Chains A and B, each alone.
Chain A
Amino acid sequence: MIIRDKFKIALIPFSALVFGIFALILIIFFANSIQIFEKEGLAIYTTSRWLASEDPSLEFYGVLPAIYGSLYTSGIAILIALPLSVAYSVFVVDYAPRRIKEWLIIATDIMTGLPTIIYGIWGAFFLVPFVKKYLMEPLYENFSFIPLFSYPPSTGHSFLSGGILLGIMVTPFAAAIIREAYRTIPYTYREAVYALGATKYEATRVLIGYIKPAILAGLVLAFGRAIGETVAVSLVIGNTFNISPSLFAPGYTISSLIANQFGNAFIYEHMVSALFAAGLSLSFIGLAVNLLVFRMLRRWEHARS
């Protein structure tokens, strides 16, 4: 450009500030993690011993249980989100009368924005006892030989409670993407399927196959939301270091570990750094999820146009 665009130059500092803040976030996380990497190496991520001690030489931190818990609960969450968000999208686009459709969309919009602490208080005082009484206790009594159900339900705070609460919370995020994709399937496709004499069930099966990439993108996004969620899940998961295959066992997630331990971490020599390293792993999972969704949606948009 020969003529200098003053407007552009005036705006650049603001954009630069956003980049600067994000760069600073990454720098601070790396800088604070170095100490624990030097002390423990990758053992911070691969071991499950958590030893806080006044004596720095005894301190040892392994956050594997938290990483495990994050993946476990977020996995449960997207298993719940998949059928719910797909059925919701089909119902809203194909079946719901106009008025009901409006209300359904408003409801899921509220759910995406509702303060997560409200999910948290509901989860702690209603969902946990409910899940314990109607899912955990009957399953434990009858099927405790299956490893998934092998842990005696004590308080109800568990991977399962965390996963269900996260599933409820992230379904609307997946549903927003899937609904939009399902709505924009070209009309000729629908006509073609019905022209073959397909029932609604058969037609939906074909059309769902068509938007598979968008469903995948929606679920990955939901996974990202679930893994980053903090306060709601920390109120229902039990906050215990634990790697158990059982759904009924209490556990930790990366974010609930940080929320719980960071407040008193400064008493110890290395704990702050250990928690920053845990946060670093969480931000990497978050970044990976984002890039994945970004690429998948872009490819999907290309394929359609």
Chain B
Amino acid sequence: MPDRRRAKEIVFQAVVAILTFSTIAPLLHIIFSVFVEGLPVLIKGGISFLTDTLAPPSDGLGGIGPAIVGTFVLIALSSLMGLPIALMTGIYSAEYPRSIIGRAAKILLQIMMEFPTILVGLFVMELLVIPMGSYSALAGAFALAVIMMPYVAISTEEALKEIPRSYREAAFSLGLSRAQVVFRVLIKMAKRGTLTGILVGMAKVAGETAPLLFTAGGSERIYFRGLNRPIGAIPLLIYQLVQQPYDNYHQIAWGASLLLMLIFLGIFIPTRLLLREVKF
């Protein structure tokens, strides 16, 4: 091999390796920063950081209890609203892939997955917040449900379609109705894929900020007050605190970020483990 070709080869491989590292380097630095800045806050704040309400400006750490509770309430509520619709839509597209609704639904879900989430927030504000006269847990959860739906529906559809035809035929030959085939046989076989989609959807909405800005409204100092009252959420709290000029608020924001990252990884890691085993 002539020297010039060899030199080019070496430079090329070096560039590819460097660029690849640059792709994931920010993630490593983000995880590092969040731990370095957030961990001391969690240690210093202790348990009360998880249970107390927000401190006044420039006066200690207080806690982010209402936001933590809010995040879990919102995940639960949005799952309650979004999952049934998403699962059924996914089943429909998988069972009737050639029907007009089935095909259109697939395209629509793809579009919804890419739809800017802030616009969903705007939509829900006009639809629920203004008629109800107040920000509310209900509005926040509905916005999150709309965002969660496409993730769950698409993965349900894909999981169902991966099941070999022979299983479906065997189930039908037992004389089961289509509903029985789907709910008693296929869904159970597609359990992992479906569950993965549900977890991805939950991880996604746990970290969403933009759709909550004009729907959930935030609540830093008061715990859950009811479905029709404003509610806090960790991402929303971080967004608000970062924009404040107070040092202690920035610290609280880092602590909250670490917590949010742990919640996210807590959902993400099991999902990854599930996914690797998805094989027939």
Contacts and interface: CB of A to CB of B under 8 A. Distances in A.
Given A14-B89, A32-B126, A111 B27 contact: yes
Contacts of B27: 107, 110-111, 114
Nearest to A10: B179
A18 B116 contact: no
Interface in B130-159: 146, 149, 153
28 contacts: A6-B179, A14-B84, A14-B88, A14-B92, A18-B112, A18-B149, A25-B119, A25-B123, A29-B123, A84-B22, A88-B23, A104-B24, A107-B27, A108-B24, A114-B27, A114-B264, A115-B209, A115-B260, A118-B238, A125-B37, A126-B29, A200-B9, A201-B13, A204-B12, A230-B209, A231-B209, A289-B114, A294-B110
Contact of B115 (A199, A228, A258): A228
Contact of B250 (A125, A126, A228): A125
Interface string A100-144: 000010111111011111111110111000000000000000000
Contacts of B126: 28, 32
A305 B264 CA distance: 38
Contacts of B47: none
A258 B20 contact: no
A120 B34 CA distance: 12
Contacts, number: 235
Interface in B165-212: 177-179, 182, 200, 203-204, 206-210
Interface stretch (A46-54, A55-63, A181-189, A219-227): A219-227
Given A21-B146, A228-B115, A294-B107, 14 more contacts: A7-B182, A8-B96, A10-B179, A11-B89, A14-B85, A87-B23, A118-B238, A199-B8, A201-B12, A228-B119, A229-B116, A262-B214, A263-B213, A279-B118
Given A282-B116, A286-B114, A235 B242 contact: yes
**Most A C-beta atoms less than 10 A away, residue of B34, B203, B210:** B210
B50 interface: no
Interface of B: 1, 5-6, 8-9, 12-13, 15-17, 19-20, 22-24, 26-30, 33-34, 37, 84-85, 88-89, 91-93, 95-96, 99, 101-102, 104-105, 107-112, 114-120, 122-123, 125-127, 146, 149, 153, 177-179, 182, 200, 203-204, 206-210, 213-214, 235, 238-239, 242-243, 250, 253-254, 257, 260-261, 264-265, 268, 272
Interface in A204-232: 204, 221, 224-225, 227-231
